[in-house]
Structure 1
Amino acid sequence: MAIYRKEAKEAAAEFVDQHFPLCQCALLAGSTVRGEATISSDLDIVIFDEQISGSYRESFRENGWPIEVFVHNFRSYQAFFQSDCSRARPSLPTMVAEGTAIKGEVRLKAIKAEAEYLLEKGPEAWTEETIGIKRYFLTDLLDDFIGSSDRSEDLFIASALSASASEFVLRTNGRWIGQSKWIVRALRNFDQDYANNFTAVFNDFYRTGQKAEVIKLVDNILIPCGGRLFEGFSQGKKTHSNINGKAEKI
C-alpha cells in the first residue's frame, strides 16, 4: 500500500512551524533538495536557534517522512564545520551550502557563504608522515587480500580495501572523502570516469572472485606516492642519547 506524504518542502516547513516555531533560521537539505530522493529518503533539516545552549540531533517521523533534524545556535555550528573539515567529510557544510531556506533566508546567507568557502577550499593536505602511514596500512590490506584463500575473508578484506583505497586517492588529490554511499559520490565528484572504473573493478571481483584488476588498481593508486610500503616503515620510534652524547633510535 502506498504511503501518502506531503511534498518535501511543505512537510519540512510544517515540521519547523510545529517543533521550532521560535527558531531564527531553518533549511531543508539532503537528497530531496538535490532531486535524488527515493522511497526511503528522509528530510534533513538544519535549525539555527540562538536560544539553545548547544547542538543536538533528533529523529522524527511525520507527514509520511522520516525526519533528521540538526539543531545549532549561531556559534555551535562553527565547531561542527571545523570538525567535519578536519576529518575531510564536510557533512554539515555540504548540507548548509546545498540547503534550501525554509525560514530566515537573509540571515542564512552569511552561514551559507561560510560553508561554500570551506567546500571550495578543500581539506587540509596530508603531511608526508600521514601519507607514509596510509601507504603502509593500504599495503598491508593489499597483502592480506593477495594472500587470502578464504572467500569469506576475501569479501571483508575487499570492502576495507575499497574504502582505504578510495580515501587514499581522494586525499592525495586534495579532495573530500565520504563514507558508505558518499564514497562513490566523492569519487564521482573527483572524476566520473575514474569512479566508474573503480566500482567496475570491485564489482567484477565480487562477481567472479578474480583479484588481478583490484591489485592493479590499488598499485596504481600507490605508485604516485612511492608504491607499496613495508620495509623501513616505522611509527612511534623514539631516540635517546648514548654515552657519547649522540642520538640513537630505540
Structure 2
Amino acid sequence: MAPTGDARTLAEGFVADHFPDAVGVVLAGSGATGTDTPTSDLDLVLLLPASAFADGRTSLAATYAHHGRLVEVFAYTPQSYRVWAEQEAAAHRPVVLAMLAEGVVLRDGPVVAGLREWARDVLASGPVVGTAALDLRRYRVSGLLDDLADAADPGERAVLLAGAYTALAELLLLAHGRWLGHGKWLLRHLRAWDVRAADALTDAFVAADVAAFVRVADDRLAPLGGRLQAGMVR
C-alpha cells in the first residue's frame, strides 16, 4: 500500500518547516502503508548533516505537533544511524532498521539508498543469538511457568501470565531466527512466524486460561528441549 496524500503532504510540510537541511527523509509506520487514521502519529526517519544538530549531538528522538497530528522524529547523521541501528540489532529489536528499510522515501539520495540497502541486508540475515542466550531465556520461561501454575492471588497470576507470554513469545521468535518487537509488534512478528502457534498462545492468554496457556507453552518448548531448570548454569 502507498501513503495517503494527507500523510505524505503533512510529512513533507513538517520536514520543510523543521528540518529543511535533511539529506534523507523516510516516512514509516501506518503513514507509509496508507493505514493511518486522522489521529495516527506520523513516523519519520531523517538523515541530517552534523551541522543540523545542537550541542554536539548526532541523533534526536522527539515528538512534535504539526497541524493537529503528532510527528515522531528519529533523526541521525548517516554515521550515527549505523551506530544506533547496530545497537538495536544486537538487542534483537530493529525498529529504526525496519523503518528505514520498509518505509517510503520522501527525500532520496546516495546516502539514503546505501543505508537502505545495508538495513535490508541486516534484517534479512536475522538476529544472531547464541545457545547460551537461548538457554537462559528457556530457563526464565520455565520458572515463570512454575510460578504461574502455583499462583493463587489473581493479581499475581495476571502479572505472571503477561510475563510468561512475553518471555515465551520472544524465545520462540529468537529460536526460529526472527526479530523481536515492542508492544503490538511482538504479536505481529509471532503471527508472521507461525499464525497457528501465535493464535493458540494468544487465545489462552486473552482468556486468562492458565491451564491452557501452560499446555501450549509446554508443547512449544518441547522442540527446543522442554523446560530447563535443574542443571542450568548461569
Asked if structure 1 preserves the Cα contact closer than 8 Å seen for 2:161 and 2:210, the reply is no
User: Could you say which structure has the higher helix fraction?
Assistant: 2
Shift of 1:106: 4.9
Shift of 1:128: 2.0
Amino acid at match of 1:102: L
Q: What's 1:92 paired with?
A: 96
Asked if structure 1 preserves the Cα contact closer than 8 Å seen for 2:170 and 2:180, the reply is yes
Whole-angstrom CA distance in 2 between matches of 1:115 and 1:220: 35
Whole-angstrom CA distance in 1 between matches of 2:92 and 2:7: 29
2:106 is the counterpart of 1:102: yes
Whole-angstrom CA distance in 1 between matches of 2:138 and 2:190: 19
2:163 is the counterpart of 1:160: yes
> How many percent of aligned residue pairs carry the same amino acid?
30
Whole-angstrom CA distance in 2 between matches of 1:12 and 1:133: 43
1:15-71 C-alpha deviation (Å, 9 max, x unpaired): 000111112111111111123324542001111112345111111111121011111
* Structure 1 unaligned blocks of 5 or more: 1-5, 236-250
Q: What's 1:73 paired with?
A: 77
1:176-200 C-alpha deviation (Å, 9 max, x unpaired): 0112111111112212232222211
Asked if structure 1 preserves the Cα contact closer than 8 Å seen for 2:127 and 2:177, the reply is yes
* Structure 2 unaligned blocks of 5 or more: none
Q: Among residues 109, 114, 118, which one is paired with 2:118 in the alignment?
A: 114
Q: What's 1:218 paired with?
A: 217
User: The residue matched to 1:26 in structure 2 has which SS?
Assistant: strand
Asked if structure 2 preserves the Cα contact closer than 8 Å seen for 1:168 and 1:221, the reply is no
Higher relative contact order (CA 8 A, sep 6+): 2
User: The residue matched to 1:102 in structure 2 has which SS?
Assistant: strand
Asked if structure 2 preserves the Cα contact closer than 8 Å seen for 1:175 and 1:190, the reply is yes
> Which segments of structure 1 move beyond 3 Å, counting only runs of 4 or more?
none
Whole-angstrom CA distance in 2 between matches of 1:204 and 1:135: 24
Whole-angstrom CA distance in 1 between matches of 2:143 and 2:58: 41
User: Please, what TM-score do these two structures have when normalized by structure 2?
Assistant: 0.91
